[in-house]
Amino acid sequence: MSFWEKLLNAIGNTAGNALSAVVEAIRTVFEGDPETRRKVAFSVAIIALSAKMAKADGIVSEKEVEAFREIFEFPQDQAKNVARLYNLARQDVAGYEAYAERLSTLCVTCAANCPVLEDVLDGLFHIAKADGLIHEKELNFLRHIGEIFQMSEIRFEQIAARHVSSGGDPYKVLGVSPSDDFPTIRRRYHGLVSEHHPDRLISRGVPKEFHVIANERMAALNAAYEAIEKERRAA
């Protein structure tokens, strides 16, 4: 039996109060398997919140579905189970705020600027921008998710800047100020590269498919650092 089948069997068929059942099932069904529990918690967070985000602009585009599959690959024989969970989240009477609050409690390392919850936000940004534009309602949705996840405003702006199609402000991408000296910026850059290394993602229970976003993240960090370095050399 796959972990999706175990999870859905524990949830039952109710859509009206699916959130509580999902969280409780993750806590209990996978209690003795922390690695699977982390993977399930992360995957459910992406599925549930992307389902709720679909309501933000009222449209679920094919490109958004493709983006979802890019970062969340599952066996074809589990497609119905994943779709069922997605639809339960979409139909649940609980709003996305409740989902974000409850799902954040599944992260045992949860604190301000929690890296696991940052991974979830990155995944949601990846889906939101798939149609070529992050709509204002989607951005407001994501900003509120960041607040619930206890992301600082600076950290959220740093995450958002990585997903701006024009490349964003390189200083925001690295979370530094134009007034910082270059050695400070360089230390910050190397710290971010270490923090977002693929091995760190694996230890956080992030599925291997998420490395698509990890690569995007590293490309954004590298581009931002190179832009600042070029600017400082020309000054």
Closest by alpha carbon to 145, among 26, 68, 214, 45?
A: 45
Q: DSSP letter string over 83-125?
A: HHHHHHHHH-SS-HHHHHHHHHTT-TT--TT-HHHHHHHHHHH
Region 58-85 average pLDDT? 76
* Distance of alpha carbon 4 from alpha carbon 88, whole angstroms: 13
Q: Which residue has better confidence, 153 or 39?
A: 153
**pLDDT tens per residue, range 158-190:** 899 888 765 578 999 998 999 999 999 999 999
Q: Which residue has better confidence, 113 or 100?
A: 100
Looking at the predicted structure, is the pLDDT value of residue 232 above 60? yes
CA distances from 202 to 39, 70, 148, 177, 195 (A): 9, 17, 24, 31, 12
Region 62-76 average pLDDT? 75
Report pLDDT for 127: 85
pLDDT, averaged across the chain = 81
Per-residue pLDDT band at 108 (split at 50, 70, 90): low
Region 111-120 average pLDDT? 76
**pLDDT tens per residue, range 16-59:** 567 777 777 888 888 888 777 777 887 888 888 888 887 776 66
